[in-house]
Structure 1
Amino acid sequence: MNVLQTRRLTKEHGAGASRVRAVDEVDLDVPEGQTLAVMGPSGCGKSTLLHLLGGLERPTAGEVWIGQRRTDSLSERALARLRRRSIGFVFQAFHLVDELSTAENVELPALLAGRSLREARRRADFLLDQVGLADRARHLPSELSGGQRQRAAIARALANEPQVVLADEPTGNLDTAATTDVLRIFAELRAAGQTLVIVTHDERVAATADRLISMRDGMFVDDTRLLDGTGRLAGLIGLEG
């Protein structure tokens, strides 16, 4: 079953002669449990694509589906509910709430989705243990290293057991050691069957995926299946240009 689908997905910026297509009639199918990496040069549209998939931006044209539900035509309220329940976001800049402890940041999505404080706290404790931050649960984000903050952000993204996790340059602000920690967590999520879509410039991140899509000028230029998350070519799905 496909967790994510798009049909002729298009996003334009500007008007008239200055109009630019950041995403240009993209068709995408992401099966349940797949880890997909999207790579391409800066400005190619990959982050815009991720924002469209997650409902953070509205498309100019085309369709977005999460599970069996079309999302591009939802009201803002319905879309917000869907994001809380079905999508986990991991951003390059972490976006943790500075005034909340690590545990409270991880609890927050569950509370917003209507879970009890006890349920949210139990889930946060479990996730922080999984990402190696149990001993940092009561620390503020300012007291964490960059790698620890990103691990906390990953735990937060998993708080509501989302259908899909969308990660935008998750290692972009991290050093080598912290990147290694994040790669380990993504590998564990992949092994557990979590659906992941990761936008990245980092070939080490892309090599852990089941599938790699390359973008240029808002379009997919190739779509490659990888073997065992090792970066070895398993078979070319499609190639344009």
Structure 2
Amino acid sequence: MTDPTVLRTRGLTRRYGRDSGLVRAVDDVDLDVPAGQTLAVMGPSGCGKSTLLHLLGGLQRPTAGEVWLAGNRIDTMSERALARLRRDSLGFVFQSFHLMDELTAVENVELAALLAGRPPRRARQRALHLLDRVGLADRATHLPSALSGGQRQRVAIARALSNEPQVVLADEPTGNLDSAATLEVLRLFEDLRAAGQTLVVVTHDARIAAVADRVVAMRDGAFADDTRLAGTVYGGRR
């Protein structure tokens, strides 16, 4: 039988400092994320959730433990192999959008595909399709400065989907948004969940739980609670 787990950690640990200044940002975490699941990792600032996301995405190296993506151990990969993995298999969404200010929305979205060696025509078609999917087809030629916060985050989500990633990792994706823009992003995450995209979202915003299949609460670098959700979600029912 095929293992449905797409993302797995065992004994995942990240420590900073030493002796009396030792900080266990992530402390011996075991995690299994099945394909197609939307997981919300919640907790207060400083609890280790962003560090966990960076470890899952190969943006940081663990002090100890293992990280596996689709059956491949990634924490022992070379920097070059990790860069390819992040480009081809992972999509990232950040609180501050990280769009290129001098590129239009469609150019921002297609950039990842072009860097991966996709033909320009195909990359552009994919980017236009994704902008339409996130409701921004009419903003394709706009620069980020001409977009609202919610629109910029939706462009960032479209960019994260550009190379059809196995997992999308989102770090406080609503942290810089007002209430109306947050609802726009929540609706989009619910659409992605319904389409079967695997999502891991770290946040302190309880509204994210409305679009999740599962919520993990973190405290002091460890998992304090792990809850499977059922019933009502934002915009409809499961």
Length-normalised TM-score, structure 2: 0.95
Find the counterpart in structure 2 of residue 174 from structure 1. Answer: 177
Alpha-carbon separation, structure 2, partners of 1:228 and 1:131: 25
1:1-241 matches, within 5 Å, as 1-228=4-231, 230=233
Q: SS where residue 193 of structure 1 aligns?
A: coil
From the superposition, tell whether residues 39 and 124 of structure 1 become closer, same or farther in structure 2 (CA, over 3 Å): same
**Contact 1:208 / 1:229 at 8 angstroms: preserved in 2?**
no
Give the letter for the 1:175 counterpart: D
Shift of 1:229: 5.4
CA RMSD of aligned residues (A): 1.0
Residue 211 of structure 2 aligns to a residue in which SS?
Answer: coil
CA contact under 8 A between 1:214 and 1:220: conserved in structure 2?
A: yes
What's the secondary structure of 1:207's corresponding residue? Answer: helix
Letter in 1 for 2:220: D
Any idea what SS the aligned residue of 2:118 has? coil
Instruction: Give the Cα separation in 1 of the matches to 2:21 and 2:126.
Output: 48
Measure the CA separation in 2 of the matches of 1:206 and 1:69: 29
Question: Are the aligned partners of 1:127 and 1:155 in contact in 2 as well (CA < 8 Å)?
Answer: yes
Partner of 1:238: none
Give distance in 2, aligned partners of 1:230 and 1:224: 15
Unpaired stretches in structure 2, ≥5 consecutive residues: none
3-state SS of paired residue (2:233): coil
Q: Give, in whole Å, the separation in 2 of the partners of 1:124 and 1:42.
A: 34
What letter is aligned with 2:39?
A: L
Q: Using the alignment, how far apart are the partners of 1:100 and 1:230 within structure 2?
A: 35
- Distance, in Å, in 2 between the alignment partners of 1:110 and 1:135 is 21
Instruction: Give the whole-Å Cα distance in 1 for the aligned partners of 2:175 and 2:34.
Output: 26
Letter in 2 for 1:193: G
Deviation at 1:230, TM superposition (A): 3.1
Q: Which runs of 4+ in 1 moved over 2 A?
A: 228-231
Task: Count residues with an aligned counterpart.
Answer: 231
**Percent identity among equivalent residues?**
74
Deviations 1:35-56 (A, max 9, x none): 0000011100000000000001
CA distance 1:171–1:229, change in 2 (3 Å): farther
